[in-house]
């Protein structure tokens, strides 16, 4: 399909520098109709101004949608049932938002008769893969236009120059900086890349962090939260029932007040390079710690261990953009089945950047105090049984030692 064959394109549109330039570039290079789609997934900024910006550029088909509840309910919560974490640290805040955006872009393309979608992800990053794998999985014949892989605008400076030349308003410039941070935010996290962070030895500037107070200046008094779980999901905080988005909003607020959730990592991108990024994930940090505590008393040992073995693969699927793949769906069914008895309450303590579990209880608990006690168990457990257990488990090693003994 050539450029002239594209009749209508759905553009993932934020109203920022990149996507505003893309609108004008698509108009100049593809001469096609443009439909903009702006998703409110809790990025903390008003999305309605995107409508005015799109109209000012001559666009008439403009979709602006509040997807916060769907985002947390259908993407964030299922991911946290798996305790997913990439390369031991990253809570996948950017990764998990992409399949939802891809899904809505495809749905809007179907509604409007568009034959293509477009996004502002660069040719160096993971997001191009995530958007496009999702789109192809849901609409196999869709055309994808990725301007960063086609145009000769190679930096944010050249984008700004293009914007000035074409009278495109630019909202975000950092005075005194050659390049502003590249940021992505949603209800789960905010990320920072670029600028001084491109030197992995350089410490992030304190004024970069937008959500959390520094642990050093966090309150001297700890805060306690009681999280109530049903089937692996938080349904109430301190006894107050909440929707999924309300849960995450509340945990973000409380965690941010106590400096919880800052992260500075170098990660391995799917395209092959290493990348340094900083993240703030206050609510997600609390959720991961608390969910593992809830599972610790409600999951069978072998089920819990099997989940832990499969988790890195599940996290990698999400990071690499395979949310809509059959293998992720298969894993999700297994994970969700494991959560049937993950019910009860977890109490956590927030203090100067840390999250500590200080209590857990459940009507479905497998913790048997009468057996686990160090006091008199009234015959609930016969300690003599352990001798045979140990000897049987040592049998193969004892046989090998005898056969190979040089004595």
Active site residues: 18, 98, 127, 182
How far is 132 from 180, CA to CA, in rounded Å?
26
How far is 267 from 45, CA to CA, in rounded Å?
27
Kindly list the distances between the CA atom of residue 225 and the CA atoms of 34, 214, 237, 345, in Å, as whole numbers in the listed order. Answer: 47, 20, 7, 10
Across 223-246, b (16+ Cβ under 10 Å) vs e yields eebbbbbeebbbebbeeeebebbb
Beta strands in 15-164, from DSSP E residues, in sequence order: 33-40, 61-66, 116-118, 143-145
- Beta carbons of 255 and 283 less than 8 angstroms apart: yes
How far is 320 from 98, CA to CA, in rounded Å?
11
How far is 81 from 338, CA to CA, in rounded Å?
9
Q: What is the DSSP letter of 72?
A: I
Report which secondary-structure segment, H or E, holds 109.
helix 98-112
Give Rg (Cα) of the chain: 25
Kindly list the distances between the CA atom of residue 63 and the CA atoms of 13, 67, 94, in Å, as whole numbers in the listed order. Answer: 9, 12, 21
Kindly list the distances between the CA atom of residue 191 and the CA atoms of 43, 148, 362, in Å, as whole numbers in the listed order. Answer: 11, 20, 35
Phi-psi region of 259 (alpha: psi -120 to 50; beta: other; left: phi over 0): left
Phi-psi region of 257 (alpha: psi -120 to 50; beta: other; left: phi over 0): alpha
């Amino acid at each position: 399909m050539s450029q002239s064959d594209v009749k209508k394109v759905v553009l993932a549109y934020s109203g920022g520098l990149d996507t505003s330039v893309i609108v004008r570039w698509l108009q100049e290079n593809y001469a096609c109709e443009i439909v903009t789609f702006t998703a409110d997934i809790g990025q903390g900024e008003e999305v309605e101004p995107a409508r005015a910006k799109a109209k000012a550029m001559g666009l008439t088909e403009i979709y602006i949608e509040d997807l916060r509840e769907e985002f947390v309910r259908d993407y964030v919560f299922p991911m946290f049932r798996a305790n997913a974490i990439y390369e031991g640290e990253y809570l996948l805040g950017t990764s998990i938002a992409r399949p939802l955006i891809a899904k809505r872009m495809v749905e809007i393309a179907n509604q409007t008769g568009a034959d293509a979608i477009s996004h502002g992800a660069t040719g160096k990053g993971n997001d191009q893969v995530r958007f496009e794998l999702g789109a192809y999985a849901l609409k196999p014949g869709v055309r994808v236009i990725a301007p960063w892989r086609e145009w000769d605008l190679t930096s944010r400076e050249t984008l700004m120059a293009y914007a000035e030349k074409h009278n495109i308003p630019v909202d975000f410039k950092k005075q005194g900086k050659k390049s502003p941070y590249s940021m992505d935010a949603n209800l789960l996290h905010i990320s920072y890349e670029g600028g001084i962070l491109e030197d992995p030895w350089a410490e992030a500037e304190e004024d970069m962090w937008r959500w959390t107070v520094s642990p050093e200046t966090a309150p001297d008094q700890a805060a306690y939260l009681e999280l109530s779980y049903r089937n692996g999901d938080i349904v109430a905080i301190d006894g107050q029932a909440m929707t999924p988005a309300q849960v995450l909003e509340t945990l973000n607020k409380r965690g941010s007040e106590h400096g919880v959730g800052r992260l500075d990592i170098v990660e391995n991108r799917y395209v092959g390079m290493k990348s340094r990024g900083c993240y703030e994930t206050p609510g997600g940090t609390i959720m991961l710690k608390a969910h593992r505590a809830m599972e610790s008393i409600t999951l069978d040992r072998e089920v819990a261990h099997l989940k832990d073995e499969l988790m890195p693969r599940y996290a990698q699927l999400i990071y690499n953009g395979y949310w809509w793949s059959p293998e992720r769906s298969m894993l999700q069914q297994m994970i969700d089945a494991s959560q049937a008895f993950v019910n009860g309450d977890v109490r956590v303590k927030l203090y100067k950047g840390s999250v500590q579990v200080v209590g857990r209880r459940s009507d479905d608990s497998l913790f048997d105090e009468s057996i686990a006690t160090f006091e008199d168990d009234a015959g609930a457990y016969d300690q003599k049984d352990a001798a045979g257990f140990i000897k049987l488990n040592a049998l193969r090693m004892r046989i090998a030692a005898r056969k190979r003994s040089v004595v």
